[in-house]
Amino acid sequence: MRPRLLLPRGDLARPCSPAIHSTTTRFFTQSASLRVGVQTRPQLGFLNVPVTTQQYRYLTTERKARLKYDIKQGIKITSYFWMAGACCFAIAFALVQETLEARYPSPHEWSMLSRIFFRGAFCERDQTDPSRTTDWVHVTNWIKSVVDRLEDPNIDGKGLKDAPSDRPKGTKDISSMSENWRRGYYEAMMLYAKAAENVEKWVTDKTQNLTIPNDYVIGPSNPKPRPLPNENYRPPKEDDCVPTFESPNEIYMRILCTEGLTNRQRMEAGLAYATWLEFKQITGPANIILEDAVHLAASEQALLTGGHYPLDTKSYTLIDAAGHHPSSNLLQSLTALATFRARNGDVSSALPMLVSILQARKALPTSDPRRISPLPQKKQTWAGAVLALLKEPPYPDPPEDGTLPPLRDAKERCEEAALSLHIGEIMYTAKPTTTNNNNTSATTAHSHREEGLGWTREAVDIAEEQLRGLSNKQSAMAARLTCRECLAAGLENWTMMVSRLARDEKAKKEELERNPGLDKQNKTSWWSFWGQGEHKQEDLNRWAAEEKVIAERQRRAADLLEELPTGNRGFLSFLQA
């Protein structure tokens, strides 16, 4: 085949320049590397055709409609989320308030805000979180708001009257209000007084509007003030500060002078006020208030029993009367007076009172036809439980007024054990009468200690026996708490008493080892005629052996002193350990 000549079309039309003309024959099958030297058209800028980008309208009618739709949908979805969150918050708030209402019931006739503040104050008081303590400032503010709203005739105090002018300022007459309203008002005032005890030293700096304890105040009454934790405020001065909250004395006096309270409520308020005065070391007025509480309970019982006064007005001991037992109010107030006098050193007056109270408690009846036994509760069905959630729980019935004698049940037996503990403490710490004979004085002190130790052993035995016999039902929780506290206090007292006696025993044993002739001198003394001069081997090891007995009793009672959750924990209980 004849070879084909390969030339561009342009070369055939125009003559080639001699400089670049080549006679070399190029075949179609030649390699591309031979064509590298061929010149191409130069790329010059002014010869290029400018390329322009196409302009677009970003905000067209369609896009504008799409943006409006997206914005509306976003607002709608966000609103749905906020509404769902608000509904969840409302449901959670309602459930919390329902739980608090079952725990701290409030009168239904109060306004919703008063009831919320009432529950919040009690919930903060009973703080169960171990990582934080009760914020008494918040408790005081909440319960003060409740009291102010109850005393405001435009809110919850419609029909409330002021007490006569001879009463403390701010005292009210609540006799015209309903019984539930009066009980709620009394509970609020008692919590208000308790909270005021814990914030008594709080002051407010008028120049900075700062509320702090008076430990940070600079003044003559506080020569060494603490530095403020917040550096944005300057240290307050005493002249610029005023008390933030009302004094507990004023609140307690308002409670005691309020018209419309029952005798039991007055007595409980008096006992709480006396406890506060004793804490402040104002023992004289505290003793007077306790005596007034005792006379109030005794006069009430004398009025109900036909004029028989059950108390000796001089020694404050109970008088035995056939067929008449002391009331709960009288026993409670008289026990408070006796323990108050014992704590303040008046043992000669307190011991006969405690013994008479213990004898009266042991003679209490086990049943009383005047008491109305509660009706047995029916087992609630699922339908009843659902219906109960839809309606408000009823306000609880009023408690006992304390005019009847208590029944001698497990709780009262533990109260007897508590009295035995008090008597044992007094007997153990009682000082012997001063005599010329040192041996007689030492023997009397030793016998008092052993007698007090015997009372303590008896109290521990009673409390442990009653605690083991009680069930884990909700109705027996009050009795279990009383017996548990009595058992714990009894074991602690027993341990301390025996440890002191064991130390004395050990010191006496070491002294006899250092001076062997001392024992022989005691044997030949005239006091050895009564058997007091000898030191028997079992006497020298008696209290050390009893310490081992106490350790065994503590180990045995450890399960009783632990407060474990009992009862049904719900349908998710199988997931809990």
- pLDDT tens-digit series, residues 398-413: 888 888 889 888 888 9
- Which residues constitute the domain of residue 548? 417-428+450-515+543-564
Flag whether 475 is in a domain: yes
CA distance 342 to 277: 16
Cα–Cα distances (Å) from 430 to 39, 358, 439, 496, in that order, read 131, 19, 17, 16
DSSP string for 86-145: HHHHHHHHHHHHHHHHHHS---TTS-HHHHHHHHHHHHHHT---TTS---HHHHHHHHHH
Is residue 93 packed enough to be buried (19+ CB in 10 Å), middle (13-18) or exposed (0-12)?
exposed
Decide: residue 560, CB within 10 A, 0-12 exposed, 13-18 middle, 19+ buried.
middle
Is the residue at 558 inside a domain?
yes
| Token pair of 465 as six digits | 């026996």
Note the Cα 295 to chain centre separation in Å.
33
pLDDT in tens, the chain (577 residues): 455 544 455 444 445 444 444 455 555 455 555 555 556 666 666 666 666 666 667 778 888 999 999 999 999 999 999 999 999 999 999 999 988 998 999 999 999 999 999 999 999 999 888 788 899 999 999 999 999 999 999 999 998 999 888 899 989 999 999 999 999 999 999 999 999 999 998 999 988 888 889 889 998 888 888 888 877 888 888 888 999 999 999 999 999 999 999 999 999 999 999 999 999 999 999 999 999 999 999 999 888 887 788 888 889 999 876 678 899 999 999 999 999 999 998 889 999 999 999 999 998 888 877 766 665 666 767 777 777 777 788 898 888 888 888 988 888 898 999 999 999 999 888 766 554 555 555 566 667 888 889 999 999 999 888 888 887 776 678 888 888 889 999 999 999 999 888 888 888 878 777 776 655 555 544 334 344 444 555 556 788 888 888 899 889 888 888 764 444 444 334 334 3
Contact, 490 vs 456, CB < 8 A? yes
CA distance 420 to 33: 122
Half-sphere exposure of 251 (CA within 13 A, CB side): 26
> Residue type for 551, please?
A
The H or E element that residue 367 is part of is none
CB-based contact 315:334 (threshold 8 Å): no
Residue 259 φ/ψ, nearest 5 degrees: -85, 135
Specify the pTM.
0.79
Rounded alpha-carbon distances, angstroms, from residue 483 to 46, 435, 493 = 110, 41, 15
Contact 543, 498 (CB under 8 A): yes
Cα(404)–Cα(301) distance, integer angstroms: 9
Q: Which of 530, 500, 536, 534 is nearest to 518 (CA)?
A: 534
- Distance (Å, whole) CA 571 – CA 520: 75
- Cβ(184)–Cβ(101) below 8 Å: no
The answer to whether 310 and 301 have CB atoms below 8 angstroms apart is yes
Determine, yes or no, domain membership for 511.
yes
> Using N-to-C axis directions, what is the helix angle for 477-514 and 517-524, rounded to 10°?
100
Spatial strand order in the sheet of 202-205:
210-213, 202-205, 241-243
Rounded Cα distance between 480 and 212, Å, is 40
Q: Is residue 500 part of a domain?
A: yes
Q: Does a structural domain hold residue 472?
A: yes
The amino acid at 24: T
Helix, strand and coil in the chain, % to nearest 5: 60, 5, 40
Within 13 Å, how many C-alpha atoms sit on residue 190's CB side?
16
Report the C-alpha gap between 502 and 484 in whole angstroms: 27
Local structure of residue 162 (DSSP, 8 states)? E
* 3-class SS of residue 276: helix
Cα–Cα distances (Å) from 391 to 88, 379, 388, 506, 550, in that order, read 20, 18, 6, 69, 53
Contact 142, 117 (CB under 8 A): yes
Whole-number Å distance between alpha carbons of 263 and 327: 12
Residue length, the chain? 577
User: Does 348 map to a domain?
Assistant: no
Number of structural domains found in the chain: 1
Q: Is residue 485 part of a domain?
A: yes
- Bridge partners (DSSP) of residue 297 are none
Residue 13 lies in a domain: no
